[in-house]
Amino acid sequence: MFYSLARAALFSLDPEVAHDLTLKKLDRVAALGIPRLLFRRADDLPVQAMGLSFRNPVGLAAGMDKNAAHVDALGTLGFGHIEAGTVTPLPQPGNPKPRIFRLIPAQGVINRMGFNNEGVERFVANVRRQPRFRAAGGILGLNIGKNAATPLERALDDYLAALRAVYAHADYVAVNISSPNTKDLRALQGERELQALLAGLAAARRALEDEHGRRVPLAVKIAPDLADAAIAPLADLLVANGVDGVIATNTTIARDRVRGLAHADEAGGLSGRPLRERATEVVRLLAGHLQGRLPIIASGGVMSGADALEKVQAGATLVQIYTGFIYSGPDLIVDCVDALRAHFAAHGG
């Protein structure tokens, strides 16, 4: 009830203004312990993935907290993990505004943010000053990308710089090669380009593991717009290069499910309910090929507990929410955990 009232007010504002305002307000109320009074909190439902222990399978996808400035506040809502970022080595403003558009009849969002962030130095400082989420058992993923001005042939340099900067502060690192909002970024999913990127990251991680005395898992986030035939070869490259998990999926450039709606023709990545079916199909294709060799983190169109269960039944170990959180608020976390708990109780897991 509380969030439905708040949403009505927030949806009267420009989406990016509403986003920033929500996070600022959450910081304030979380410091006073108010979220625990206003929202139900999911009970633990432990799950193991990438060598890590998650207190429940439901996480926050990257994009909500690009600068890792609100981790502890978001952590009070009951997420099992939070993925902050995407962060780039240098600060960048992202694409011109307006760059977020609600498609309310479809429960969707189009964004073309363009990795707007304050750079990895500020990002790491923000992580360091917010220890409470991790101290309470939350898992923190840090999502890295390349600067828009960096030529594609130098992309590895950016990913290495970001990896070295965040390594000591992450429970896992997510490698974003699938945003549609940075020019040519998705070309890094090509076989030759991906092999070069993964080999470079693997070598750097070996050195960082020796330096820090701990192995931080790597996950790669892929696009839903890959051809079906490209998914198995991509998955094989992830396994061959020692990647620990795959995040499926990022936003889509497809518009077939939102044709005719206001803002449907805006450039950018579409998320929310219109993405659900394709994102689940990518999870299913990955799971069928991988046969358990890598855990799958499902992201894309999780708008209800039933959607989270659909992803797990398709082969995911963890799920992430973002657009569903915008439309339904913190109760969605509980709904997802409860749906998965009931399924595991009935069928094992």
pLDDT digits (tens, 9 = 90+) for 9-46: 999 999 999 999 999 999 998 887 877 767 778 889 99
Q: How far apart are CA 21 and CA 4, in angstroms?
A: 16
Q: Is the model's pLDDT at 193 over the cut of 60?
A: yes
Give the end-to-end CA distance of the chain in Å, rounded to a whole number.
32
Name the residue with tokens 């890598």.
294
pLDDT digits (tens, 9 = 90+) for 96-136: 999 999 999 999 999 999 999 999 999 999 999 999 999 99
Q: Is the model's pLDDT at 1 over the cut of 60?
A: no
Positive or negative, the CA dihedral 86, 92, 95, 98 is positive
Instruction: List domains and CATH numbers for the chain.
Output: 2-347 (3.20.20.70)
Task: Report the DSSP beta bridge partners of residue 271.
Answer: 109
Q: Tell me if 228 sits within 8 A of 289, measured CB to CB.
A: no
Q: Tell me if 326 sits within 8 A of 4, measured CB to CB.
A: no
The predicted pLDDT at position 88 comes to 98
- The amino acid sitting at 14 is D
The pTM (predicted TM-score) of the whole model is 0.97
Q: Tell me if 136 sits within 8 A of 78, measured CB to CB.
A: no
The predicted pLDDT at position 4 comes to 79
How many percent of the chain have pLDDT more than 70? Answer: 99
- The amino acid sitting at 197 is L
Q: How far apart are CA 20 and CA 244, in angstroms?
A: 32
Close Cβ partners of 292 (under 8 Å, ≥ 6 residues apart): none
Say which of 179, 271, 299, 304 is annotated catalytic: 179
Q: How far apart are CA 60 and CA 82, in angstroms?
A: 5
Q: Is the model's pLDDT at 349 over the cut of 70?
A: no
The predicted pLDDT at position 137 comes to 96
Say if strands 100-103 and 108-111 run parallel, antiparallel, or are unpaired. antiparallel
The predicted pLDDT at position 316 comes to 98
Q: How far apart are CA 21 and CA 17, in angstroms?
A: 6
When pLDDT is averaged across residues 186-198 and rounded to a whole number, the result is: 97
Half-sphere exposure of 122 (CA within 13 A, CB side): 16
Q: Is the model's pLDDT at 249 over the cut of 90?
A: yes
Q: Is residue 179 among the annotated active site residues? A: yes
Q: Tell me if 329 sits within 8 A of 7, measured CB to CB.
A: yes
When pLDDT is averaged across residues 305-326 and rounded to a whole number, the result is: 98
The predicted pLDDT at position 37 comes to 66
Which is more confidently placed, 139 or 41? 139
The predicted pLDDT at position 220 comes to 98
> Got the DSSP string for 66-111?
TTS-SHHHHHTTT-SEEEEEEE-SS-B--SPSP-EEEEGGGTEEEE
Q: How far apart are CA 88 and CA 75, in angstroms?
A: 23
The predicted pLDDT at position 43 comes to 85
Q: What is the dihedral of CA 284, 290, 292, 293, to 10 degrees?
A: -150
The predicted pLDDT at position 35 comes to 74
When pLDDT is averaged across residues 149-163 and rounded to a whole number, the result is: 98
Backbone angles phi, psi at 318, to 5 degrees: -125, 160
Query: How would you label 282-312 residue by residue, b for 16+ Cβ within 10 Å and e otherwise?
Result: bbbbbbebbeeebbbbbbbbbbbbebbbbbb
Q: How far apart are CA 223 and CA 178, in angstroms?
A: 5
Q: Is the model's pLDDT at 61 over the cut of 70?
A: yes
> Which one-letter DSSP state was computed for residue 224?
T
pLDDT digits (tens, 9 = 90+) for 62-94: 999 999 999 999 999 999 999 999 999 999 999
Q: Is the model's pLDDT at 208 over the cut of 80?
A: yes
